[in-house]
Amino acid sequence: SDYQQLGYNLRSNLFQGGPLKSRSVVKDSYTPDIAKKAIRDPNNWHGRRISELGKWYEKYFLDRNVQKAMKDKYG
């Protein structure tokens, strides 16, 4: 049956899983000096800019985390 065949395949280690070392398309496509020359700007990544709404959310969650920490510390 299918169940017995699956059990046999698992016991004989036919399903060995994924590769131990993964490869990246970027690493395969470009030479190492390209990555070293790249300038990373956190405010402009992949042509996108952090909007005012994103900055507001960042401040909001920072304030929220401070409030939680204060509540945990002082009750």
If one counts the domains in the chain, the total is: 1
What pLDDT shows up at residue 15? 59
Q: Is residue 69 part of a domain?
A: yes
What's the pTM value of the predicted model, to 2 decimals?
Answer: 0.34
> Is 50:43 a contact under the CB 8 Å cutoff?
yes
Quickly tell me which residue has 């401070």 as its tokens. 66
**Residue 55 is part of which domain span?**
49-74
Query: Which segments of the chain does DSSP mark as H helices, in order?
Result: 2-11, 25-29, 32-37, 52-74
Give the rounded distance of the alpha carbon of 43 from its chain centre. 19
Q: Is residue 14 part of a domain?
A: no
Strand, coil or helix: 18? coil
Over the chain (75 residues), what is each successive 10-residue block's mean pLDDT?
74 65 73 75 65 82 94 89
Q: Is residue 56 part of a domain?
A: yes
For the chain, the straight-line distance linking the first and the last C-alpha, in angstroms and rounded, comes to: 62
Q: Is residue 60 part of a domain?
A: yes
